[in-house]
A and B are shown apart, each in its own frame.
Chain A
Amino acid sequence: MSPVSRVYKAGSIIYFEGDKAETVFVLQTGIVLLTYLSAEGAGEVRENIKSGEFFGVKSALGRFPREETATVLADATTMVMTVAEFEQLVLQNHKLVMKMLKVFSNQLRRIGKSIQTRMGTADSEPPGTGLFNIGENYLKNKKFNQALYAYQKYLQYYPDGEYATICLQRVEMAQSGAATGYAVASDGSSFVSQPAPKAGPAAVQADAAAEPAAALDGDSGIGIAKRYFDAFSLYSSEKYEEAYKLYRSILDTAGGGDDEYVEKTYFDIGRCLFNMNKPQDAITQLTAMIKSFPNSQNLKPALFHIGKCHAMLGDNEKAKGFYNKVRMMPPNESINKRAQKAIEELGGGV
């Protein structure tokens, strides 16, 4: 635990770029020159170290290879310490740390700006717009509390910003969404029908909603399977409202009958409604499905979902009734166990 003093002759090299870095140096007397290639592509950079200054700190601390070559210009005496010794020193000298932090942060900022410029991302999106768009993204994904936070922060920081008016409306939607699970403003407007601000996420959503509708033209019958899978994929990515619309369009054009996709679609619409926090509509849908397709493969899941809807509506007795049907229905598979568990969770004996 003692740093050693080391003497170097003029012209010698203390370390080369790319060397393994294990020590930190303090120049006591003499002159040391650091040379390295500018990260910004501006050729070679030369930096003179004056007595009392540290060098080799960053690479030693960060445990990466030396980034520069240290050449002795005039006979030099250096203090050499291990990383552990340097850490000990730092822990006792807060002024030193502050100074180094400032140097490092300055470098970081400079490099950061350089990267931003090269990537063409510098100032591409003003922070206000960025914050608003984050809110839009959360709202779209039904993360209402997060959306609310973003809009409220926007209004806090940019009360006169270009999105302030629309933010006020969005706050309302997010609040109603948080309470009911469905985003509607007091004037009845829903999220999708809002004018899309510039090319924000709202515009993206409008496009996404328009796409399936366009796909309907002229492909009724043939494209049902494809559309079913498109809808299912929307459902899987939790885009319930978009999925719901597409599922509906399948029923509208399929013309009934015993097509397997119609049956699946009935069930999936029920699940969509459940996830859209419309338990009553979901019950109606799933009941209709059970009537139309009493031998459906999805019979048990449908009954289970009806149970969940009743639980959501607060009618635990009805919920338990449906769960119990599922529980008793052979064969005994995992959904039977889930039903049993759901009954227990509602505090009911079986």
Chain B
Amino acid sequence: MALNEGMTSKFGVTYQPGQIIFLEYEPGDSFYLIQSGRVKITKVVKDKEKLLDILEPGDVFGEMAILEDAPRSASAVAAEEVKALLFRKENFEIILKSNPAMALKLLKIFAKRIYEQKRRLMIFTLEEDDAKVLDVLLMLAEQKGHNPNSIESVELVTNEEQIASWAAIKVDNCRKVLTHYDKLGRIQLGQNKISIRNINEIHRMVSTKRKQQ
């Protein structure tokens, strides 16, 4: 993404390796465009710091802050020396005007995110815990790029706590459902991983549940 010299001198910031750019829960009124170096996105989940993503030069982050005064939903830490452009909420429009490529990029990010979020919401429209858990598995498989109509096995890196949280049900209930399907041979539970024997099978089960409602 080509940016003129003026922008770098006006908005350029540098972070040292390991330096915090912002922390989860901090109020946010700025967003960033990485020019060089990589940024780790982390979140503390149940007392443990988890790595959610690693962002590369050209990536934009913290942009949700321009939409509403919501606190940061995750932490951003410089993985190495990071040079970035820092934009304040109030400059947003000016910057997009002079940098349409970035505007387009944001538009694409938003489109993708809306789709992903809607997909999450669909899980909640199911009534039974059973169906919700299966739909979470299906969603995770889709996120990995698997076609739900294809007859293939899928391996997911996840666990019952995560699935319970996606489905917004109790971990105990989630475990029961997973164990049940493990016994039936539809899935196989492992240490922090779940293998789906046939993704299409899960897809059909969820569709049937949806139609029965």
* Residue positions of A touching B, CB distance < 8 A: 39-41, 57-59, 61-62, 64, 67, 87, 90-92, 94, 97-98, 100-101, 104-105, 107-109, 111-112, 114-115, 118-120, 127-128, 130-131, 133-134, 137, 141, 145-146, 149-150, 153, 157, 201, 204
Q: Verify B104–A90 contact, CB threshold 8 A.
A: yes
- A59 vs B108: C-alpha distance in the bound complex, in angstroms? 10
Name 6 A/B residue pairs within 8 A (Cβ), A-sorted: A57-B111, A92-B100, A97-B100, A101-B103, A134-B23, A150-B23
User: For residue A61, which residues in chain B have a CB less than 8 angstroms away from its CB?
Assistant: 107-108, 111
Q: Verify A115–B23 contact, CB threshold 8 A.
A: no
- A90 vs B23: C-alpha distance in the bound complex, in angstroms? 33
User: For residue B93, which residues in chain A have a CB less than 8 angstroms away from its CB?
Assistant: 98
Q: Say yes or no: is B71 at the interface (Cβ < 8 Å to chain A).
A: yes
Asked whether A90 and B115 contact (CB < 8 A) given A61-B108, A130-B24, A134-B25, the answer is no
Stretch at the interface among B119-127, B151-159, B178-186: B119-127
Asked whether A108 and B121 contact (CB < 8 A) given A94-B97, A127-B27, the answer is no
Chain B 105-164 interface residues, beta-carbon cutoff 8 Å to A = 106-108, 110-115, 117-118, 120-122, 124-125
Q: Say yes or no: is B49 at the interface (Cβ < 8 Å to chain A).
A: yes
Q: Say yes or no: is B75 at the interface (Cβ < 8 Å to chain A).
A: yes
Q: Verify B107–A100 contact, CB threshold 8 A.
A: yes
Q: Say yes or no: is B101 at the interface (Cβ < 8 Å to chain A).
A: yes
Select from chain A the residue with minimum beta-carbon distance to B123: A118
Q: Verify B114–A108 contact, CB threshold 8 A.
A: yes
- A59 vs B103: C-alpha distance in the bound complex, in angstroms? 17
- A11 vs B205: C-alpha distance in the bound complex, in angstroms? 34
User: For residue A149, which residues in chain B have a CB less than 8 angstroms away from its CB?
Assistant: 20, 23
> B91 CB to closest chain A CB, in angstroms?
13
User: For residue B25, which residues in chain A have a CB less than 8 angstroms away from its CB?
Assistant: 127-128, 130-131, 134
Q: Say yes or no: is B51 at the interface (Cβ < 8 Å to chain A).
A: no
Select from chain B the residue with minimum beta-carbon distance to A95: B97
- A116 vs B95: C-alpha distance in the bound complex, in angstroms? 31
For A87, give its contact among B23, B104, B112, B165 (CB under 8 Å).
Answer: B104
Asked whether A157 and B111 contact (CB < 8 A) given A109-B67, A109-B68, A201-B47, the answer is no
> A301 CB to closest chain B CB, in angstroms?
29
Contacts A39-B118, A130-B25, A130-B71 aside, 18 further interface pairs with beta carbons under 8 A come to A39-B122, A62-B108, A64-B112, A94-B96, A97-B100, A97-B103, A97-B104, A98-B93, A108-B117, A109-B68, A115-B120, A115-B124, A119-B168, A137-B49, A149-B23, A153-B23, A153-B26, A157-B27
The 7 A-B pairs of least Cβ separation, nearest first, read A130-B25, A62-B111, A104-B110, A131-B25, A97-B103, A127-B71, A105-B67
Asked whether A134 and B75 contact (CB < 8 A) given A101-B110, A201-B47, A204-B47, the answer is yes
Q: Verify A97–B107 contact, CB threshold 8 A.
A: yes
- A119 vs B100: C-alpha distance in the bound complex, in angstroms? 36
Q: Verify B110–A108 contact, CB threshold 8 A.
A: yes
Instruction: Specify which of A107, A108, A118, A137 lies most central, judged by the most chain B CB atoms within 10 Å of its CB.
Output: A108
Select from chain A the residue with minimum beta-carbon distance to B22: A153
Q: How many residues of B contact A (CB 8 A)?
A: 41
Chain B 191-208 interface residues, beta-carbon cutoff 8 Å to A = none
- A90 vs B104: C-alpha distance in the bound complex, in angstroms? 7
User: For residue B67, which residues in chain A have a CB less than 8 angstroms away from its CB?
Assistant: 105, 108-109
User: For residue B47, which residues in chain A have a CB less than 8 angstroms away from its CB?
Assistant: 137, 201, 204
User: For residue A105, which residues in chain B have a CB less than 8 angstroms away from its CB?
Assistant: 66-67, 110
Instruction: Specify which of B18, B24, B122 lies most central, judged by the most chain A CB atoms within 10 Å of its CB.
Output: B24
For B96, give its contact among A41, A64, A98 (CB under 8 Å).
Answer: A98
For B114, give its contact among A92, A94, A107, A204 (CB under 8 Å).
Answer: A107
> A268 CB to closest chain B CB, in angstroms?
23
- A131 vs B22: C-alpha distance in the bound complex, in angstroms? 11
- A317 vs B106: C-alpha distance in the bound complex, in angstroms? 57
Select from chain A the residue with minimum beta-carbon distance to B95: A94
Q: Verify A58–B111 contact, CB threshold 8 A.
A: yes
- A100 vs B103: C-alpha distance in the bound complex, in angstroms? 10
User: For residue A40, which residues in chain B have a CB less than 8 angstroms away from its CB?
Assistant: 121
- A130 vs B125: C-alpha distance in the bound complex, in angstroms? 29
- A133 vs B25: C-alpha distance in the bound complex, in angstroms? 10
User: For residue B100, which residues in chain A have a CB less than 8 angstroms away from its CB?
Assistant: 90-92, 94, 97
Q: Verify B115–A64 contact, CB threshold 8 A.
A: yes
Select from chain A the residue with minimum beta-carbon distance to B113: A108
Q: Verify A91–B104 contact, CB threshold 8 A.
A: yes
For B106, give its contact among A58, A101, A134, A204 (CB under 8 Å).
Answer: A101
- A128 vs B118: C-alpha distance in the bound complex, in angstroms? 29
User: For residue A153, which residues in chain B have a CB less than 8 angstroms away from its CB?
Assistant: 23, 26
Chain B 22-45 interface residues, beta-carbon cutoff 8 Å to A = 23-27, 44
- A128 vs B26: C-alpha distance in the bound complex, in angstroms? 8
